[in-house]
Amino acid sequence: MNRKKIVVISMVKNEADVIESFARHVFTFADELIIADHTSGDKTYEILTALKDEGLPIFLSTYRQVELAHAEVMNDLLQRALYEHGADLVLPMDGDEFLVNTENDTPCRAILETLDESQMYCLRWRQYEPRFPHEEEARFLLSRPCRRTRDFVGGQKTIVGAQIAKQAGFCLGQGTHFAYWADGSGQVPTTVAPVVHTAHFHWRSDEQYAAKVATSWINNVAKYSNYTPTANYLKEYYYEMAQGLPIQAENQLKDPEDFDLTPYVTELPLRYSTDVRPKPLRNLMGAAVLMAEAYHNRKVLEQKQTATVVLPYADDVADLERRLTLALAENYPHKEIFILNNALDGVDIALPPELKGQVTVLRDTSTEDTLEQLARLATGEFFQWILPGEKAQPDKLMAMVASISSQDYPLKVICSNGHIVSPDANGRQWTLAMTSNFMMLKPAAWLELILKNGFYPAEGLAAVLMRRAVVEECQWFKGCFLDGTPLPFVMWVVMSRRMAALWPVYACAIFQEPRYEQDAKVWTAADFSRHQLEWQAARAELGA
């Protein structure tokens, strides 16, 4: 019998006290974990990154909107699991949920292998909580003493077979407790999954629960308003917190029983779960900043300033398709996209009909080259270039337009820093050493900082937003291409030197937060060698 591919999908926020236990336990029964972090203010993202760097098959992304768009994100992750990862079974789970079998000694994986891919299963639910919240906090959660409800409780989770999930109109509901058909024909029927159930650790300590309440109700209001039945139990707790009352949800379990999970699970050593006790005030303040940022972004969107996104193409069709997908996914709505078809082999780029009007393809003619056409046709006040191999987050363009267009200073370019990582064996590091979380620099100092670091920020020009005047003064980067392929460091030098001559004031800015996905491009030896040659040439030219 062929082994099924089992994928867990999850959206998490501020789960640092439990996320390592969750992720490691997932791989006792699943092959991959596709997970979106909803702007956690604790160590959740850091721990997931460490686990990914350890080699675990974790596919990590970030969701930065304020509202709790759980159903929307989970449906997107479901599609990724089915069509990009080839899943046979998908388990939508929260970070505080664990698949267990406490009825016999059959492993969860063996039970999942027996399930029918053409069905959707109801996964029974039981509430658990640690007996001693602050003892052995860095130990695998399921190996600590706990108690649970004596029977299964109301509500359920689901296990989704690929065949039924691929049918037209299949949608997971809010909380992934059920699924429904988009045509309004009702909920998708389910079969009760045999033996296994969800161990739900909803409460793990008073601090954890207060931290959950502090952000979850704000996220809920952002989506549903202050008057909604969805997760309405959080509202009472939220206003109790506002009055300075302690949040004690420990007694949620009715008539609990002490229970030892250790005979039914594997003890898993944890490496990153120290100093993860939740901090409610930090979470609350983080949620408040996101709410204010969403308000500001809405004001910026009302100005309807166009951003021009430029994608040069030479010979790698797959890379162009990937970059185009990223450009289309950027959530700044007032954008125009141009592809510069610089292919020497004469290959035409055929766009799907639905992209006509959204994307314009330019190629050399007898009278104009692609850059001359770009100069004539582009209408953007701001310009973003996404070069081969580059990858940015969907919210990057929105964040940059919101920042550069709202300052009291005449900024000409703005960029984000790289993802903060430890240097590799060769000392290479993908982040700039910044003295503050938002730095304004003169163009000469900006380039010096980049050259000193040895890399340009956050995957090249995809990290930069330029005003139109910069692109025009750089003559649309003529002379920065070799056989149709852009030379990124030559672009950086041309841009910085021209800006230094024209705008010696503080015209450049860098903000600390990275704006590209964790699965950034892995450079080949040839890529790195070419980059280093460009970098050394730039340093020599500038006397660095």
**DSSP, res 5:** P
Contact (CB, 8 A) for 340 and 374: yes
Which amino acid makes up residue 455? Answer: F
pTM > 0.95: yes or no: no
Domains of the chain, CATH where assigned: 6-209+252-292 (3.90.550), 303-542 (3.90.550.10)
* CA 442 – CA 9 distance, rounded (Å): 45
User: Considering only CA atoms, which of 129, 93, 118, 119 is closest in space to residue 108?
Assistant: 93
* CA 131 – CA 95 distance, rounded (Å): 19
Any residues with CB less than 8 A from the CB of 152 and at least 6 apart, and which? 124, 125, 126, 197
- Residue 452 DSSP SS3: helix
Task: Provide the pairing of β-strand 382-385 with 464-467.
Answer: antiparallel
**DSSP secondary structure string for all residues of 165-176:** HTSTTEEEPGGG
User: Considering only CA atoms, which of 300, 508, 305, 299 is closest in space to residue 410?
Assistant: 508
Token pair in block for residue 21: 């236990």
User: Considering only CA atoms, which of 307, 366, 308, 319 is closest in space to residue 485?
Assistant: 319
Query: Token match 């388990």: residue?
Result: 91
Token pair in block for residue 508: 């450049």
pLDDT along the chain (544 residues), means of 10: 91 95 98 93 92 94 78 94 96 97 96 96 94 92 95 89 96 92 92 96 90 84 80 83 76 82 94 91 84 89 96 88 89 94 79 86 90 96 89 83 89 77 47 76 79 56 86 91 81 83 86 58 54 64 54
Query: Token match 């009760």: residue?
Result: 192
Which amino acid makes up residue 318? Answer: A
User: Considering only CA atoms, which of 294, 315, 403 is closest in space to residue 69?
Assistant: 294
Query: Token match 């964040």: residue?
Result: 399
Query: Token match 């050493």: residue?
Result: 433
Task: Provide the pairing of β-strand 89-92 with 438-441.
Answer: unpaired
pLDDT at res. 514:
65
* CA 389 – CA 319 distance, rounded (Å): 7
